[in-house]
Amino acid sequence: MTVSPSAAAEQKKFRIDTVEHAAATPGTELPWAELGLKEDEFNRVVEILGRRPTAAELAMYSVMWSEHCSYKSSKVHLKQFGEKVTDKMKEHLLVGIGENAGVVDIGEGWAVTFKVESHNHPSFVEPYQGAATGVGGIVRDIISMGARPVAVMDPLRFGAIDHPDTARLVHGIVSGIGGYGNSLGLPNIGGELVFDSVYQGNPLVNALAVGVLRHEDIRLANASGAGNKVVLFGARTGGDGIGGASVLASESFDATKPSKRPAVQVGDPFAEKVLIECCLELFKSSVVEGIQDLGAAGISCATSELASNGDGGMHVELTNVLLRDPTLTPGEILMSESQERMMAVVTPENADAFEAIMAKWNVEYSWLGEVTDTGRLIIDWAGETIVDVDPRTVAHEGPVYQRPMARPAAQDSIEANSFNAERPFGSAAVKDAILELMASPNMCDKSWVTNQYDRYVQGNTALAMPDDAGVIRVDETTGLGVAISTDANGRYSYLNPYEGAKLALAESYRNVSTAGATPLAVTDCLNFGSPEDPGVMWQFAESVRGLADGCRELGVPVTGGNVSLYNQTGGVAIHPTPVVGVLGVFDDVARRTPSGWRQDGQAIYLMGTTQDELDGSEYANLRGHLGGKPPKVDLQAEKLLGELLVNASRDGMIDAAHDVSEGGLAAALSEMALRFGVGARIGLGEVCERDGVDLFTLLFSESQARAVVAVARSEEVRFKDMCSARGFAHARIGVVDTEIGALDFQSNFVLPLDELKAAHEGTLPRHFG
């Protein structure tokens, strides 16, 4: 397999389509349609170049202008994230949207970078490797910012739990994430697990990574300084994942075209681990000027982005690329998505130092060429020019579409179809409903999944699943740390995409503040159906507008993320699923608030008020109903609740806190009791009266801006005064009782924790073994 570059060139198994040849043969038929380009896009390439593209240029344009890489359908909407940002919001932002990942100042000279991305399509085709390389890809984004990756999270969505294909995907994807992340030695501190038949042919595998760096360590992806050398290092380039971005992730699955599924990539986490350490040493020794990871679109993306972000030019010799498969054509080399590769720009003076570090870590590298100030990206193959383009036209000036959008006609009837099935009435019926809810696929215990992930490796995990947010200590001496949560509710977004996006943001924000951290920044992974469907495009536009408005109202900026379109099979789109990750900061993670109570006699308070909001709820979902309006979102109330929770944590008033969201108060109380196996006596009569709702509605409604907290007896007065002073509704609803081993809903029913635990923990093992 090891073939020297020159030998590969000499083989010349294929006729090379040079720029000169292209200019002389304008009439040549090119497979632009097979590569995913539309006719007008191809014509634009011809117009830009003033001639037909070479095979290699066509390969580059087709992958870089794909939906996945160019954001051609989403760009016009995503602008809002920049436009709706105030200077105040940017206060903590060191690097914003547009780089590999955003960087946020968390104080004491430390910064954090985080980002969530999708790997949906590859994970459906090959679940294990698809999910594994999803983790690998997002981790490389973090490294390329100059940061040390410290944790990952994985929001996952599958089809119906009892569908025959679901087990294949769950087993493959969960073990792929665990296999890669655990091998890298990164704790997996949370995520989501949702089952819904809309994701049957299109599971969502989103991967978030977070990294830590000192302010002075920030690295950007640009190639500056004419004469500086361009180097490719890490794994060799093979034929894996060719066209993954252009074809696989940019078109709907269609059973009639199985041949459109190119080979997927196989990851090697141990190679990535070496790459992490090697890159960190490169940063520490300041031997690289700019760096870029290779993900979707491989070398096409890295060369054109580095060049257009820097001095504008680059000249490389493609036969210098180290290959795993010597038969690859230049076009394939440019498109290959082989994993565990990085590209860097190094000054000639630092070349020796660079090579020494590569030798130390036993990482293969090859010098490809140099940065120029010509404004052209020139790629040669054995001395003959096969690519001569303005890199900006490849990387940044791709097509931009104002896709038609239309509110679906069915939206009115969806909104009118409120949940009005018969509600459980009476103690026994409500108790059974709680047990049914807590055993349901979306509300059941997730440890079957999270136990396959290493959650505490590196020893800096302060909280992980099943707590509200994952918490990681950044500085071991001061305890400075961050909390991250990811949330989305596809059903809410289906009912109202604008409100749904705000609700996802609100929940994520609430989770972070429930853990005790002050929310600072947002990353998002927007999973939608086909942008060529005006209804889906409307959902997308509404979601982006909702998220941008919500971020502005909460004062937290979007720092980066990813858009995944074409998530549909056979013409049916998934629910709009805008996954929102919120990052918050802790001065000291030692004061984190866990999600379960432990201390006998502590008072249990419900913060916030409850309305009759069962549309789109987990309970309605259990009854197979989806219609009506999602719960009302009040971001001012969320902000206030967040401040109260953080203050209560800082001042040591609360020992446990859990947000009330999916599954309502019933789920919140059950999860708090099961967290440490400690029961409580609960009295809800007064709250029912105050809010004007019955017991069932109080327990199952999904009204927003609520949380349950456990307050030490000695702190009760202070806690109540704080809530009253800020005008935030709060009510004492019970007392922690370490003796009874049950949730005793006084004057109604007693729910033994054993019974609850058996129902809650039995579901995933029963389906997946």
Nearest to 202 by CA among 163, 246, 234, 237: 163
Q: Does 274 bind another protein (CB under 8 A)?
A: no
Cβ–Cβ < 8 Å for 756, 671 = no
Number of residues interacting with another protein: please give it, by CB under 8 A: 22
Nearest to 612 by CA among 628, 635, 636: 628
CA 318, 321, 323 angle in degrees (round to 5)? 125
Which residue's entry shows tokens 């059950």? Answer: 670
564 assigned binding-site residue: yes
Q: Shortest approach of another protein to residue 322 CB, angstroms? A: 13
Question: In this complex, which beta carbon is closest to another protein, that of residue 1 or of residue 725?
Answer: 1
Give CA–CA dist 341/338, Å, rounded.
7
Q: Does 17 bind another protein (CB under 8 A)?
A: no
Cβ–Cβ < 8 Å for 654, 711 = yes
Residue in 210, 264, 506, 667 binding another protein, rule: CB under 8 A: 264
Q: Shortest approach of another protein to residue 618 CB, angstroms? A: 35
Amino acid at residue number 567? N
Residue in 277, 281, 325, 716 binding another protein, rule: CB under 8 A: 325
Region of 86-94, 95-103, 266-274, 680-688 interacting with another protein (CB under 8 A): 266-274
Give CA–CA dist 190/468, Å, rounded.
9
Q: Does 289 bind another protein (CB under 8 A)?
A: no
365 assigned binding-site residue: no
CA 596, 633, 702 angle in degrees (round to 5)? 45
Give CA–CA dist 314/299, Å, rounded.
13
Q: Does 137 bind another protein (CB under 8 A)?
A: no
Residue in 192, 240, 468, 691 binding another protein, rule: CB under 8 A: 240
Q: Does 36 bind another protein (CB under 8 A)?
A: no
- Measured from the Cβ of residue 681, the count of other Cβ atoms closer than 10 Å reads 17
Judge whether 396 counts as a catalytic residue.
no
Query: Which residues from 339-358 bind another protein, rule CB under 8 A?
Result: 339
Nearest to 217 by CA among 96, 341, 95: 95
Q: Which one from 68, 77, 315, 730 is the annotated catalytic residue?
A: 68
| Pairing status of strand 558-564 against strand 518-527 | parallel
Question: In this complex, which beta carbon is closest to another protein, that of residue 169 or of residue 743?
Answer: 169
Q: Does 259 bind another protein (CB under 8 A)?
A: no
293 assigned binding-site residue: yes
Give CA–CA dist 625/619, Å, rounded.
9
117 assigned binding-site residue: yes
337 assigned binding-site residue: yes
308 assigned binding-site residue: no
524 assigned binding-site residue: yes
Region of 122-130, 211-219, 431-439, 496-504 interacting with another protein (CB under 8 A): 122-130
Q: Kindly give the interhelix angle for 664-676 and 427-439, rounded to the nearest 10 degrees.
A: 70
Nearest to 575 by CA among 535, 547, 546, 633: 535
Q: Shortest approach of another protein to residue 169 CB, angstroms? A: 13
Phi, psi at residue 582, to the nearest 5°? -115, 135
Question: In this complex, which beta carbon is closest to another protein, that of residue 168 or of residue 623?
Answer: 168
Question: In this complex, which beta carbon is closest to another protein, that of residue 274 or of residue 688?
Answer: 274
Q: Does 239 bind another protein (CB under 8 A)?
A: yes
Q: Shortest approach of another protein to residue 240 CB, angstroms? A: 6
339 assigned binding-site residue: yes
Question: In this complex, which beta carbon is closest to another protein, that of residue 3 or of residue 46?
Answer: 3
Residue in 134, 159, 267, 497 binding another protein, rule: CB under 8 A: 267
Question: In this complex, which beta carbon is closest to another protein, that of residue 228 or of residue 336?
Answer: 336
Region of 238-246, 310-318, 383-391, 455-463 interacting with another protein (CB under 8 A): 238-246
Residue in 338, 513, 514, 704 binding another protein, rule: CB under 8 A: 338
Distance from the first to the final alpha carbon of the chain: 41
79 assigned binding-site residue: no
For every residue of 134-171, which 3-state class applies, written as one string? HHHHHHHHHHCCCCEEEEEEEEEEECCCCCHHHHHHHH
Give CA–CA dist 450/337, Å, rounded.
29
447 assigned binding-site residue: no
Judge whether 68 counts as a catalytic residue.
yes
Residue in 324, 392, 407, 732 binding another protein, rule: CB under 8 A: 324
Q: Does 329 bind another protein (CB under 8 A)?
A: no
Distances (CA, A) of 181 to 90, 152, 154, 172, 184: 32, 8, 10, 14, 5
Cβ–Cβ < 8 Å for 410, 347 = no
Q: Does 2 bind another protein (CB under 8 A)?
A: yes
Q: Does 435 bind another protein (CB under 8 A)?
A: no
Q: Does 243 bind another protein (CB under 8 A)?
A: no
Q: Which residues pair with 564 in a beta bridge?
A: 527
Region of 174-182, 233-241, 386-394, 680-688 interacting with another protein (CB under 8 A): 233-241
**Neighbouring residues of 720: CB distance < 8 A, sequence distance ≥ 6:** 730
Question: In this complex, which beta carbon is closest to another protein, that of residue 10 or of residue 686?
Answer: 10
Indicate the SS3 state at residue 446: coil
Indicate the SS3 state at residue 630: coil
Region of 237-245, 388-396, 413-421, 604-612 interacting with another protein (CB under 8 A): 237-245
Query: Which residues from 620-679 bind another protein, rule CB under 8 A?
Result: none
Question: In this complex, which beta carbon is closest to another protein, that of residue 177 or of residue 480?
Answer: 177
Which residue's entry shows tokens 């909104």? Answer: 415
Nearest to 67 by CA among 529, 407, 501, 392: 529
Which residue's entry shows tokens 């020297």? Answer: 4
Give CA–CA dist 520/632, Å, rounded.
23
Q: Which residues pair with 466 in a beta bridge?
A: none
Question: In this complex, which beta carbon is closest to another protein, that of residue 196 or of residue 240?
Answer: 240
Region of 216-224, 231-239, 418-426, 500-508 interacting with another protein (CB under 8 A): 231-239
Indicate the SS3 state at residue 195: strand
Q: Which one from 77, 92, 119, 730 is the annotated catalytic residue?
A: 119
Question: In this complex, which beta carbon is closest to another protein, that of residue 99 or of residue 268?
Answer: 268
Q: Does 270 bind another protein (CB under 8 A)?
A: yes
Amino acid at residue number 350? N
What is 464-488 written as a DSSP string? Answer: -TTSSSEEEES-TTT--EEEEEEE-
User: From the annotation, which residues make up the binding site?
Assistant: 71, 115, 117-121, 140-141, 265, 293, 337-339, 524, 561-562, 564
**Residue stretches of the annotated binding site for ATP:** 71, 115, 524, 561
Q: Mark the binding-site residues for substrate, compressed into ranges.
A: 118-121, 140, 265, 337-339, 564
Report, as residue numbers or ranges, the catalytic residues: 68, 119
Q: Residues interacting with another protein, by CB under 8 A?
A: 1-2, 125-126, 129, 235, 238-240, 261, 263-268, 270-271, 324-325, 338-339
